[in-house]
Chains A and B, each alone.
Chain A
Amino acid sequence: MKYYKILLKSCLILPLAFTVIISCNSSVNRQDKSTSVSDTLKSTESINPYIALDQSPMDMSYFPNNYPILKMNGTDSFGPVARVIYSRPQKKGRMILGEAGTKSLREYGKEWRLGANEATEIEFFKDVVINGKTIAKGRYIIYCIPLPDKWTIILNTNLFTWGLHMDKQKDIFSVDVPVELQAPALEDFTMVFEPAAYGADLVIAWDNIRTVLRISTRT
Protein backbone atom coordinates (compact mmCIF):
# COMPACT_ATOMS: atom_id res chain seq x y z
CA MET A 1 0.00 0.00 0.00
CA LYS A 2 2.84 2.32 0.89
CA TYR A 3 4.40 1.79 -2.54
CA TYR A 4 1.18 2.87 -4.21
CA LYS A 5 1.16 6.04 -2.19
CA ILE A 6 4.74 6.85 -3.06
CA LEU A 7 4.07 6.12 -6.71
CA LEU A 8 0.92 8.21 -6.72
CA LYS A 9 2.82 11.02 -5.05
CA SER A 10 5.61 10.81 -7.60
CA CYS A 11 2.98 10.92 -10.34
CA LEU A 12 1.92 14.27 -9.03
CA ILE A 13 5.28 15.63 -7.99
CA LEU A 14 7.44 14.68 -10.96
CA PRO A 15 5.37 16.39 -13.66
CA LEU A 16 5.03 19.35 -11.31
CA ALA A 17 8.80 19.46 -10.89
CA PHE A 18 9.21 19.29 -14.67
CA THR A 19 6.83 22.19 -15.09
CA VAL A 20 8.61 24.24 -12.43
CA ILE A 21 11.99 23.57 -14.05
CA ILE A 22 10.67 24.51 -17.48
CA SER A 23 8.93 27.65 -16.27
CA CYS A 24 12.04 28.71 -14.34
CA ASN A 25 14.05 28.40 -17.52
CA SER A 26 11.61 30.46 -19.50
CA SER A 27 11.52 33.18 -16.85
CA VAL A 28 15.31 33.42 -17.09
CA ASN A 29 15.01 33.71 -20.85
CA ARG A 30 12.37 36.38 -20.60
CA GLN A 31 14.37 38.87 -18.57
CA ASP A 32 15.28 42.28 -19.98
CA LYS A 33 12.04 42.64 -21.88
CA SER A 34 10.14 45.06 -19.71
CA THR A 35 9.46 48.52 -21.08
CA SER A 36 7.63 48.83 -24.37
CA VAL A 37 8.92 51.13 -27.07
CA SER A 38 8.14 51.59 -30.71
CA ASP A 39 9.68 48.72 -32.63
CA THR A 40 11.41 51.13 -34.97
CA LEU A 41 13.52 52.48 -32.12
CA LYS A 42 16.16 50.94 -29.95
CA SER A 43 15.63 51.77 -26.30
CA THR A 44 18.42 53.20 -24.23
CA GLU A 45 18.99 52.35 -20.62
CA SER A 46 21.48 53.24 -17.96
CA ILE A 47 23.30 49.91 -18.00
CA ASN A 48 24.54 50.47 -21.53
CA PRO A 49 25.42 53.91 -22.82
CA TYR A 50 25.71 52.69 -26.44
CA ILE A 51 22.94 50.37 -27.57
CA ALA A 52 20.56 48.58 -25.25
CA LEU A 53 19.28 45.10 -25.96
CA ASP A 54 16.61 45.08 -28.64
CA GLN A 55 13.06 44.63 -27.37
CA SER A 56 12.72 41.91 -29.98
CA PRO A 57 16.05 40.13 -29.92
CA MET A 58 17.57 38.88 -33.14
CA ASP A 59 18.16 35.18 -33.65
CA MET A 60 19.52 32.89 -36.30
CA SER A 61 18.37 29.43 -37.45
CA TYR A 62 20.38 27.17 -39.70
CA PHE A 63 19.51 24.10 -41.72
CA PRO A 64 20.84 21.58 -40.89
CA ASN A 65 19.87 22.67 -37.36
CA ASN A 66 22.76 24.03 -35.33
CA TYR A 67 25.01 23.78 -38.38
CA PRO A 68 27.86 25.78 -36.75
CA ILE A 69 27.93 23.29 -33.85
CA LEU A 70 27.84 20.31 -36.23
CA LYS A 71 30.73 21.89 -38.11
CA MET A 72 32.70 22.40 -34.90
CA ASN A 73 32.13 18.77 -33.94
CA GLY A 74 33.03 17.56 -37.42
CA THR A 75 29.61 15.91 -37.78
CA ASP A 76 28.35 17.93 -40.75
CA SER A 77 28.14 15.59 -43.74
CA PHE A 78 27.45 18.37 -46.23
CA GLY A 79 27.50 22.17 -46.11
CA PRO A 80 24.76 24.42 -44.81
CA VAL A 81 21.52 24.56 -46.83
CA ALA A 82 19.80 27.61 -45.42
CA ARG A 83 19.96 30.27 -42.73
CA VAL A 84 17.34 32.64 -41.40
CA ILE A 85 18.13 35.84 -39.47
CA TYR A 86 15.04 37.28 -37.81
CA SER A 87 13.86 39.18 -34.75
CA ARG A 88 11.73 37.60 -32.05
CA PRO A 89 8.90 39.76 -30.69
CA GLN A 90 6.91 38.45 -27.72
CA LYS A 91 3.14 38.07 -27.49
CA LYS A 92 2.92 39.95 -24.13
CA GLY A 93 -0.80 39.26 -23.88
CA ARG A 94 -1.59 40.90 -27.20
CA MET A 95 -3.79 39.60 -30.00
CA ILE A 96 -1.33 38.94 -32.80
CA LEU A 97 -3.43 38.72 -35.97
CA GLY A 98 -6.93 40.08 -36.51
CA GLU A 99 -9.29 41.99 -38.77
CA ALA A 100 -8.84 45.74 -39.20
CA GLY A 101 -10.14 47.64 -36.15
CA THR A 102 -9.69 44.75 -33.70
CA LYS A 103 -6.56 46.26 -32.16
CA SER A 104 -4.55 43.22 -33.18
CA LEU A 105 -0.81 43.66 -33.55
CA ARG A 106 -1.00 42.80 -37.27
CA GLU A 107 -3.96 43.00 -39.65
CA TYR A 108 -5.07 40.22 -41.95
CA GLY A 109 -4.20 41.02 -45.56
CA LYS A 110 -1.33 43.39 -44.69
CA GLU A 111 2.31 42.59 -45.31
CA TRP A 112 4.24 41.45 -42.25
CA ARG A 113 8.05 41.22 -41.97
CA LEU A 114 7.87 37.94 -40.03
CA GLY A 115 9.38 39.35 -36.88
CA ALA A 116 10.44 42.88 -35.99
CA ASN A 117 13.07 45.47 -36.82
CA GLU A 118 14.93 44.65 -40.07
CA ALA A 119 13.18 42.59 -42.72
CA THR A 120 13.75 38.89 -42.05
CA GLU A 121 16.61 37.52 -44.12
CA ILE A 122 16.84 34.03 -45.60
CA GLU A 123 19.92 32.68 -47.31
CA PHE A 124 20.06 29.54 -49.43
CA PHE A 125 23.59 28.16 -49.71
CA LYS A 126 22.52 26.04 -52.70
CA ASP A 127 19.64 26.07 -55.16
CA VAL A 128 16.40 24.80 -53.60
CA VAL A 129 12.90 24.09 -54.90
CA ILE A 130 9.80 25.53 -53.26
CA ASN A 131 6.37 24.64 -54.61
CA GLY A 132 7.96 23.35 -57.85
CA LYS A 133 9.95 26.50 -58.52
CA THR A 134 13.73 26.63 -58.33
CA ILE A 135 15.02 29.37 -56.03
CA ALA A 136 18.59 30.28 -56.95
CA LYS A 137 21.21 30.08 -54.21
CA GLY A 138 21.59 33.48 -52.59
CA ARG A 139 20.10 35.82 -50.07
CA TYR A 140 16.54 37.17 -49.94
CA ILE A 141 14.18 38.82 -47.55
CA ILE A 142 11.14 36.79 -46.59
CA TYR A 143 7.79 38.23 -45.55
CA CYS A 144 4.15 37.18 -45.53
CA ILE A 145 0.60 38.35 -46.07
CA PRO A 146 -1.41 36.55 -43.37
CA LEU A 147 -5.09 35.60 -43.67
CA PRO A 148 -7.11 33.58 -41.15
CA ASP A 149 -6.76 30.30 -43.07
CA LYS A 150 -3.65 30.78 -45.20
CA TRP A 151 -0.52 32.90 -45.46
CA THR A 152 1.13 34.05 -48.65
CA ILE A 153 4.87 33.72 -48.11
CA ILE A 154 7.00 35.92 -50.35
CA LEU A 155 10.69 36.08 -51.23
CA ASN A 156 12.07 39.45 -52.30
CA THR A 157 15.52 40.72 -53.30
CA ASN A 158 15.41 44.10 -51.48
CA LEU A 159 18.02 43.17 -48.88
CA PHE A 160 19.31 45.09 -45.85
CA THR A 161 16.12 47.01 -45.30
CA TRP A 162 13.91 47.79 -42.31
CA GLY A 163 10.80 45.64 -42.49
CA LEU A 164 8.11 48.28 -42.85
CA HIS A 165 8.17 49.02 -46.59
CA MET A 166 8.20 46.06 -48.91
CA ASP A 167 9.21 46.95 -52.46
CA LYS A 168 6.72 44.65 -54.25
CA GLN A 169 8.55 45.08 -57.56
CA LYS A 170 11.41 43.07 -56.10
CA ASP A 171 9.26 40.06 -55.20
CA ILE A 172 10.64 36.97 -56.92
CA PHE A 173 8.46 34.21 -55.49
CA SER A 174 5.28 33.67 -53.56
CA VAL A 175 3.40 30.64 -52.30
CA ASP A 176 0.23 30.13 -50.25
CA VAL A 177 0.54 27.89 -47.22
CA PRO A 178 -2.26 26.78 -44.87
CA VAL A 179 -2.44 28.02 -41.28
CA GLU A 180 -2.03 25.21 -38.75
CA LEU A 181 -2.56 25.11 -34.99
CA GLN A 182 0.49 25.50 -32.76
CA ALA A 183 0.46 23.75 -29.40
CA PRO A 184 1.68 24.79 -26.94
CA ALA A 185 1.10 28.47 -27.76
CA LEU A 186 4.41 30.33 -28.09
CA GLU A 187 5.25 33.58 -26.29
CA ASP A 188 8.23 34.20 -28.59
CA PHE A 189 7.95 34.39 -32.36
CA THR A 190 9.93 31.43 -33.69
CA MET A 191 11.36 30.43 -37.07
CA VAL A 192 13.11 27.09 -37.17
CA PHE A 193 13.93 24.41 -39.73
CA GLU A 194 12.80 20.84 -39.27
CA PRO A 195 14.20 18.00 -41.35
CA ALA A 196 11.83 16.51 -43.94
CA ALA A 197 12.14 13.65 -46.45
CA TYR A 198 12.50 16.15 -49.32
CA GLY A 199 14.77 18.57 -47.46
CA ALA A 200 13.49 20.90 -44.78
CA ASP A 201 10.36 22.50 -43.42
CA LEU A 202 10.73 26.09 -42.36
CA VAL A 203 8.34 26.31 -39.40
CA ILE A 204 7.05 29.80 -38.67
CA ALA A 205 5.23 29.79 -35.33
CA TRP A 206 3.80 32.29 -32.87
CA ASP A 207 1.02 32.24 -30.33
CA ASN A 208 -1.37 29.44 -31.28
CA ILE A 209 -0.70 29.24 -35.02
CA ARG A 210 2.04 28.08 -37.32
CA THR A 211 2.73 27.82 -41.03
CA VAL A 212 5.24 25.62 -42.80
CA LEU A 213 7.28 26.42 -45.91
CA ARG A 214 8.36 23.18 -47.61
CA ILE A 215 11.86 23.45 -49.03
CA SER A 216 13.13 20.72 -51.32
CA THR A 217 16.86 20.26 -51.68
CA ARG A 218 16.39 17.90 -54.66
CA THR A 219 16.87 20.27 -57.56
Chain B
Amino acid sequence: MKKLLIAFLVFFIAASAVIAQPMLPSPDKSILDASYCPPNFPLLKIQDKATDPLLARIVYSRPQKNGRVIFGDLIPYGKVWRLGANEATEIEFFQNVKFANVAVKKGRYTLYAIPTESKWTFIINRETDVWGSFRYDSKKDVARVDVPVQLQNDISELFTVIFEKSAKGYELQFYWDNIKATVPVSL
Protein backbone atom coordinates (compact mmCIF):
# COMPACT_ATOMS: atom_id res chain seq x y z
CA MET B 1 0.00 0.00 0.00
CA LYS B 2 2.85 2.29 0.89
CA LYS B 3 4.47 1.66 -2.49
CA LEU B 4 1.18 2.40 -4.19
CA LEU B 5 0.94 5.72 -2.36
CA ILE B 6 4.50 6.62 -3.24
CA ALA B 7 3.86 5.70 -6.86
CA PHE B 8 0.83 7.98 -6.93
CA LEU B 9 2.74 10.75 -5.23
CA VAL B 10 5.62 10.52 -7.69
CA PHE B 11 3.20 10.58 -10.59
CA PHE B 12 1.31 13.63 -9.35
CA ILE B 13 4.49 15.56 -8.60
CA ALA B 14 5.88 14.74 -12.04
CA ALA B 15 2.59 15.58 -13.74
CA SER B 16 2.07 18.82 -11.82
CA ALA B 17 5.64 19.91 -12.57
CA VAL B 18 4.72 19.76 -16.24
CA ILE B 19 1.29 21.33 -15.80
CA ALA B 20 2.40 24.05 -13.35
CA GLN B 21 4.61 25.80 -15.94
CA PRO B 22 3.05 29.13 -16.84
CA MET B 23 1.43 28.88 -20.24
CA LEU B 24 3.08 31.88 -21.86
CA PRO B 25 2.19 31.97 -25.55
CA SER B 26 4.51 30.51 -28.20
CA PRO B 27 4.92 32.29 -31.54
CA ASP B 28 1.94 31.83 -33.83
CA LYS B 29 2.11 29.34 -36.71
CA SER B 30 0.93 32.08 -39.08
CA ILE B 31 3.02 34.94 -37.84
CA LEU B 32 1.87 38.52 -37.62
CA ASP B 33 3.49 41.15 -39.82
CA ALA B 34 3.01 44.82 -40.59
CA SER B 35 3.37 46.70 -43.90
CA TYR B 36 3.55 50.45 -44.05
CA CYS B 37 2.66 52.98 -46.71
CA PRO B 38 5.09 54.47 -47.72
CA PRO B 39 6.97 51.12 -47.61
CA ASN B 40 9.42 50.77 -44.69
CA PHE B 41 8.21 54.02 -43.17
CA PRO B 42 9.58 53.28 -39.64
CA LEU B 43 13.09 52.66 -41.02
CA LEU B 44 12.96 55.74 -43.24
CA LYS B 45 11.76 57.77 -40.26
CA ILE B 46 14.77 57.03 -38.05
CA GLN B 47 17.09 57.81 -40.97
CA ASP B 48 15.28 61.13 -41.62
CA LYS B 49 14.54 59.84 -45.13
CA ALA B 50 10.75 59.81 -44.91
CA THR B 51 9.76 62.37 -47.52
CA ASP B 52 6.05 61.45 -47.61
CA PRO B 53 3.94 61.30 -44.44
CA LEU B 54 2.59 58.01 -43.15
CA LEU B 55 -0.53 57.12 -45.12
CA ALA B 56 -1.48 53.62 -44.03
CA ARG B 57 -0.48 50.49 -42.16
CA ILE B 58 -1.66 46.91 -42.53
CA VAL B 59 -1.31 44.38 -39.71
CA TYR B 60 -1.97 40.84 -40.90
CA SER B 61 -1.02 37.21 -40.33
CA ARG B 62 0.98 35.20 -42.85
CA PRO B 63 -0.21 31.64 -43.41
CA GLN B 64 1.87 29.40 -45.68
CA LYS B 65 0.79 27.40 -48.71
CA ASN B 66 2.33 24.18 -47.33
CA GLY B 67 1.56 22.30 -50.54
CA ARG B 68 -2.16 23.05 -50.37
CA VAL B 69 -4.44 24.39 -53.08
CA ILE B 70 -5.30 27.82 -51.69
CA PHE B 71 -8.02 29.57 -53.68
CA GLY B 72 -11.20 27.67 -54.36
CA ASP B 73 -10.18 25.06 -51.78
CA LEU B 74 -8.57 26.21 -48.50
CA ILE B 75 -10.11 29.64 -49.11
CA PRO B 76 -13.50 28.92 -50.73
CA TYR B 77 -14.68 31.16 -53.53
CA GLY B 78 -17.54 33.51 -52.76
CA LYS B 79 -17.04 33.62 -48.99
CA VAL B 80 -15.71 36.43 -46.78
CA TRP B 81 -12.05 35.78 -45.90
CA ARG B 82 -10.05 37.52 -43.18
CA LEU B 83 -7.10 38.01 -45.56
CA GLY B 84 -4.66 36.00 -43.53
CA ALA B 85 -5.15 34.04 -40.33
CA ASN B 86 -5.96 34.56 -36.66
CA GLU B 87 -7.29 38.07 -36.01
CA ALA B 88 -9.02 39.81 -38.92
CA THR B 89 -6.55 41.85 -40.97
CA GLU B 90 -6.37 45.44 -39.78
CA ILE B 91 -5.89 48.45 -42.02
CA GLU B 92 -5.33 51.92 -40.64
CA PHE B 93 -5.41 55.12 -42.65
CA PHE B 94 -3.62 58.08 -41.11
CA GLN B 95 -5.23 60.48 -43.56
CA ASN B 96 -8.46 60.51 -45.56
CA VAL B 97 -7.77 58.36 -48.61
CA LYS B 98 -9.27 57.00 -51.75
CA PHE B 99 -9.44 53.21 -51.62
CA ALA B 100 -9.75 52.50 -55.36
CA ASN B 101 -12.50 55.05 -56.06
CA VAL B 102 -14.12 55.07 -52.62
CA ALA B 103 -13.38 57.86 -50.13
CA VAL B 104 -12.44 56.42 -46.73
CA LYS B 105 -11.94 58.59 -43.64
CA LYS B 106 -8.77 58.25 -41.61
CA GLY B 107 -9.09 55.62 -38.88
CA ARG B 108 -8.60 51.98 -38.01
CA TYR B 109 -10.65 49.35 -39.84
CA THR B 110 -10.75 45.63 -40.58
CA LEU B 111 -10.12 44.47 -44.13
CA TYR B 112 -11.67 41.38 -45.72
CA ALA B 113 -11.97 39.98 -49.22
CA ILE B 114 -14.39 37.74 -51.06
CA PRO B 115 -12.23 35.90 -53.59
CA THR B 116 -13.67 34.37 -56.74
CA GLU B 117 -11.89 32.84 -59.72
CA SER B 118 -11.79 36.09 -61.67
CA LYS B 119 -12.15 38.93 -59.16
CA TRP B 120 -11.74 39.79 -55.48
CA THR B 121 -14.16 42.02 -53.61
CA PHE B 122 -12.28 43.94 -50.92
CA ILE B 123 -14.30 45.06 -47.92
CA ILE B 124 -13.38 47.75 -45.38
CA ASN B 125 -15.40 47.35 -42.19
CA ARG B 126 -15.71 49.44 -39.01
CA GLU B 127 -15.64 46.61 -36.45
CA THR B 128 -12.05 46.26 -35.16
CA ASP B 129 -10.22 43.92 -32.76
CA VAL B 130 -12.04 40.85 -34.02
CA TRP B 131 -11.04 37.26 -34.70
CA GLY B 132 -11.38 36.08 -38.28
CA SER B 133 -14.54 36.81 -40.25
CA PHE B 134 -16.86 34.67 -38.14
CA ARG B 135 -18.88 37.66 -36.89
CA TYR B 136 -18.46 39.79 -40.01
CA ASP B 137 -21.39 42.21 -40.28
CA SER B 138 -21.95 43.83 -43.68
CA LYS B 139 -23.97 46.61 -41.99
CA LYS B 140 -20.66 47.95 -40.70
CA ASP B 141 -19.05 48.10 -44.16
CA VAL B 142 -17.34 51.34 -45.10
CA ALA B 143 -16.27 50.40 -48.63
CA ARG B 144 -16.55 47.54 -51.13
CA VAL B 145 -14.24 47.43 -54.11
CA ASP B 146 -13.95 44.84 -56.90
CA VAL B 147 -10.60 44.16 -58.53
CA PRO B 148 -9.59 41.60 -61.14
CA VAL B 149 -7.36 38.66 -60.20
CA GLN B 150 -3.90 38.56 -61.77
CA LEU B 151 -2.21 35.19 -62.33
CA GLN B 152 1.47 35.03 -61.40
CA ASN B 153 4.27 32.79 -62.66
CA ASP B 154 6.03 32.97 -59.28
CA ILE B 155 4.35 30.99 -56.53
CA SER B 156 4.24 32.85 -53.24
CA GLU B 157 4.55 30.34 -50.38
CA LEU B 158 3.62 32.96 -47.81
CA PHE B 159 0.59 35.18 -47.88
CA THR B 160 2.10 38.61 -48.43
CA VAL B 161 0.69 42.14 -48.32
CA ILE B 162 2.76 45.14 -49.38
CA PHE B 163 2.34 48.71 -50.48
CA GLU B 164 4.20 49.84 -53.58
CA LYS B 165 4.56 53.31 -55.00
CA SER B 166 2.67 53.87 -58.26
CA ALA B 167 2.18 56.73 -60.69
CA LYS B 168 -1.01 57.86 -58.95
CA GLY B 169 -0.09 57.13 -55.35
CA TYR B 170 0.31 53.63 -54.01
CA GLU B 171 -0.79 50.10 -54.78
CA LEU B 172 -1.86 47.77 -52.02
CA GLN B 173 -0.77 44.36 -53.30
CA PHE B 174 -1.78 40.92 -52.08
CA TYR B 175 0.11 37.77 -53.08
CA TRP B 176 -0.51 34.14 -52.28
CA ASP B 177 0.07 30.98 -54.27
CA ASN B 178 -0.13 32.05 -57.94
CA ILE B 179 -2.61 34.88 -57.34
CA LYS B 180 -2.08 38.61 -57.09
CA ALA B 181 -4.74 41.22 -56.34
CA THR B 182 -4.13 44.96 -56.24
CA VAL B 183 -6.04 47.95 -54.92
CA PRO B 184 -4.95 51.52 -55.69
CA VAL B 185 -4.70 53.79 -52.62
CA SER B 186 -4.19 57.51 -52.95
CA LEU B 187 -4.89 60.81 -51.22
Contacts and interface: CB of A to CB of B under 8 A. Distances in A.
Contacts of A134: none
A118 to B, nearest CB: 5
A151 interface: no
Q: State the majority secondary structure of interface residues on B.
A: mixed
A19 interface: yes
Interface stretch (A63-71, A104-112, A171-179, A211-219): A63-71
B29 interface: yes
Contact of A57 (B4, B27, B43, B134): B27
Interface in A188-218: 188, 190, 192, 203, 205
Interface stretch (B73-81, B111-119, B139-147, B154-162): B154-162
Contacts of A48: 156-158, 160
28 contacts: A7-B7, A14-B14, A15-B11, A15-B17, A18-B18, A22-B18, A29-B27, A30-B27, A49-B154, A51-B33, A52-B158, A53-B158, A57-B27, A59-B27, A59-B31, A59-B32, A60-B87, A68-B130, A68-B131, A71-B135, A80-B129, A118-B34, A118-B42, A160-B41, A160-B54, A188-B26, A192-B25, A205-B24
Interface of B: 3-4, 7-8, 10-11, 14-15, 17-18, 21, 24-29, 31-36, 41-43, 45-46, 54, 57, 59, 62, 87-88, 129-132, 134-135, 154, 156-158, 160, 162, 175
